[in-house]
Amino acid sequence: MVHNLGLGNSIINQFISEIRDTSIQQDRMRFRRNLERTGEIFAYEISKELAYENSEVTTPLGSAIVPVLKEQPIVATILRAGLPLHQGILNYFDQADNGFISAYRKHHKDGSFEIKLEYVSCPSIEDRVLILCDPMLATGASMVSTYKAMLEMGKPRHTHIVSVLASTQGVEHLKAQLPMERISIWAAAIDEELTAQSYIVPGLGDAGDLAYGKKL
């Protein structure tokens, strides 16, 4: 299932407008905070899909039966651009286990590239709910490679893939390559176009550079 939160009228579209805006992007702290705030909204929406159990809570005047999470999810992100989005999700699932994956595009002289994964740090995800986030879902190749690499840590019961901006091509690639009966895709906007260099149009640029500065 694909959830495009940007199709409805909600505050997430205000954050997306600022994330895209070249003048506001100059403020790195605000850019990171807007990614974090979208992560918080994603976490709230995903929380509606999770399992709950009743818990008796003692108050100063008695007791109350409250539905609470039956199990915390595992929150994982692709470094480095995913860190603010990851933190936003973690703000709500504050007792969650965490995973981190180093993945990047290795470019070749002919303009092509391949996805290289160098590092995975994660607890067992066997029969757990996994939230896997990266701000940009362009071709979808990084996300597919990351998901498959994480299967070495176990087979998750369900995976929520979270991207702030996605391309139609990237979403279709995930649907073709991954077991969608156990996967939900979440985005705040889905753009139609990719450039020849596989960047999303209109997109927002390079999320990692905007959040943390340009790299060599």
Least confident range of 27-31, 38-42, 93-97, 198-202? 198-202
Whether the predicted pLDDT of 137 surpasses 70:
yes
What is the structure's pLDDT at 79? 87
Mean pLDDT of the chain: 93
Give the residue-averaged pLDDT of 54-73.
97
Question: Looking at the domain assignment, is residue 63 inside a domain?
Answer: no
Give the residue-averaged pLDDT of 4-9.
96
Question: Looking at the domain assignment, is residue 27 inside a domain?
Answer: yes
Residue 96's CATH number: 3.40.50.2020
And the tokens for 89?
Answer: 């999700």
Into how many domains does the chain fold?
Answer: 1
Question: Looking at the domain assignment, is residue 154 inside a domain?
Answer: yes
Whether the predicted pLDDT of 113 surpasses 70:
no
Least confident range of 21-25, 51-55, 104-108, 192-196? 104-108
Question: Looking at the domain assignment, is residue 36 inside a domain?
Answer: yes
CA distance 139 to 210: 20
What does the pLDDT look like over 7-38, one tens digit per residue? 999 999 999 999 999 999 999 999 999 999 99
Is the model more confident about 214 or about 17? 17
pLDDT level of residue 107 (50, 70, 90 thresholds) = low
Whether the predicted pLDDT of 109 surpasses 80:
no
Question: Looking at the domain assignment, is residue 60 inside a domain?
Answer: no
pLDDT level of residue 119 (50, 70, 90 thresholds) = confident
pTM for the whole thing? 0.92
Q: Which residues contact 70 (CB under 8 A, 6 or more apart)?
A: 50, 51, 52, 53
Whether the predicted pLDDT of 163 surpasses 90:
yes
pLDDT level of residue 111 (50, 70, 90 thresholds) = low
Question: Looking at the domain assignment, is residue 62 inside a domain?
Answer: no
Question: Looking at the domain assignment, is residue 58 inside a domain?
Answer: no
Range of the domain at 14: 2-52+69-212
What is the structure's pLDDT at 63? 97
Question: Looking at the domain assignment, is residue 57 inside a domain?
Answer: no
